[in-house]
Amino acid sequence: MLLFIAGCTPGTPAAIPASPPTTPSNAVRPATHEITLYDDGFGDPTPEGITVGPDDALWFTDPGNEVVGRMTSDGDYTLQFFTGFAVSDGITTGPDGALWFTQNGWSQGSDAGIGRLTTSGSLTKFSDPGGAYPQGITTGPDGALWFGESNGTVGRMTTSGTVTHLTVAPSDATLEGIVTGPDRNLWVTQEIVGGSRFSNQVIRVTTSGKFKSFTVGSGPDAICVGPDGALWFTEANANAVGRLTTSGSYDQFPVDYEYAQPSGIATGPDGALWLTDFAGRFGIARMTTTGKTKFFPVRPGFPELDRITAGPDKAMWFTSTLFPPAIGRITIR
């Protein structure tokens, strides 16, 4: 069913100034890495996923409002597209130049599905029969959309909406992050198993359906391709970042910030990994490929930071789910 979304909420929210960070030995003051939070005052916001769209704007999912939002690199909210269903933290630009995102099915009467949204506002919802609470989503090497499910399967959907599933994990496993690796395979994090226990698996999936699991640290979450061609991912329950080569060699780099919970991860234009902290303790972190880390606390409070992406303006953009709900930007030089 095709829906055209005409309504939007224009306006430019006031930026929330970031107070100077605390000063652990490896903290960097924001004089060289300025942090700005743009308040999301739309309804009951909880921004989660974020990506750069084909129009060089930041597009993000907001489960609290059941919307996909758009923000320019100047920090202006220009559009809020109401989807009418519970979106997840997975959003990506597809091979067809549209935004594709996951619907996790938490809303009353809502089924799992995948959404497609053009930059002009045409929304299509595709059902996901056989899927369950889809999470991360990415464009695969075969030009289809691939996404992790919460029933141990990986979903594959063509741009016309044809979906198939590959069982790669136990039926009670939640597959969270997914990315296409430099080896043209899909790499998927298995964050939870048994409904509530943190898992320790990253799974390589070929487009032909073959798969292999690798044991890593506890609670692998978001995943990206690093500047060194390895797979890098946050380990939410290990307070660490994992590195896995395409041949299966694994290393772990502790974040070493007490009570932290690494969440999002992305490669920056400076050749480093950039992390978010869902517990709000360290805020944003920059990690080199040797594991050297610097922290940039986000103030005020301890905001729950979720996903992060490299923006079109050579800054890093991230979502703050709560305390406050906002879209954040940190300069890298």
Residue 40 in this model has a pLDDT that exceeds 50: yes
Q: Which of 326, 241, 311, 225 is nearest to 275 (CA)?
A: 241
- Tell me what pLDDT residue 111 has: 63
pTM summary value: 0.89
Q: Which CATH number goes with the domain that contains 290?
A: 2.130.10.10
CA distance 303 to 207: 38
185-223 confidence digits (pLDDT tens):
999 999 999 988 999 999 999 999 999 999 999 999 999
- For 111, the token pair is 């089924």
Residue 181 in this model has a pLDDT that exceeds 60: yes
CA distance 159 to 117: 12
What DSSP letter does each residue of 226-248 carry, written as one string?
A: -TTSSEEEEETTTTEEEEE-TT-
The partner residues of 216 in beta bridges, in order of sequence, read none
| Helix (H), strand (E) at residue 78 | strand 77-82
Work out the burial of residue 31: count CB atoms within 10 Å of its CB; fewer than 13 is exposed, 13-18 middle, 19 or more buried: exposed
The mean pLDDT value for 255-268 works out to: 96
- Tell me what pLDDT residue 92 has: 98
Cβ atoms of 249 and 274 within 8 Å: the answer is no
CA distance 65 to 200: 32
Q: What share of the chain is helix, strand, coil (3-state, %, to 5)?
A: 0, 50, 50
CA torsion 128-132-133-138 (nearest 10°) is -60
- Tell me what pLDDT residue 5 has: 27
CA distance 191 to 177: 8
CA distance 276 to 112: 27
Cβ atoms of 157 and 165 within 8 Å: the answer is no
Of residues 283 and 43, which shows the higher confidence score? Answer: 283
Across the chain, what does the average pLDDT equal?
Answer: 89
Of residues 107 and 263, which shows the higher confidence score? Answer: 263
- Tell me what pLDDT residue 105 has: 59
CA distance 305 to 324: 10
- Tell me what pLDDT residue 174 has: 96
Domain of residue 175: give its range.
2-331
For the stretch 55-61, contacts whose Cβ atoms lie closer than 8 Å and that sit 24 or more positions apart, written own/partner, are 55/119, 56/312, 57/312, 58/309, 58/311, 58/317, 58/327, 59/91, 59/99, 60/91, 60/319, 60/327, 61/87, 61/88, 61/89, 61/90, 61/91, 61/101
Which amino acid is it at 209? Answer: G
What DSSP letter does each residue of 300-328 carry, written as one string?
A: SS--EEEEEEE-TTSEEEEEEEESS-EEE
Strand ranges of the sheet holding 67-71, from the earlier edge strand across to the other edge: 50-52, 58-62, 67-71, 77-82
Number of folded domains that form the chain:
1
- Tell me what pLDDT residue 19 has: 37
Cβ atoms of 33 and 330 within 8 Å: the answer is yes
Residue 274 in this model has a pLDDT that exceeds 80: yes
Of residues 86 and 29, which shows the higher confidence score? Answer: 86
The mean pLDDT value for 124-152 works out to: 95
Portion of the chain with pLDDT greater than 70, in percent: 88
- Tell me what pLDDT residue 107 has: 45
Residue 293 in this model has a pLDDT that exceeds 70: yes
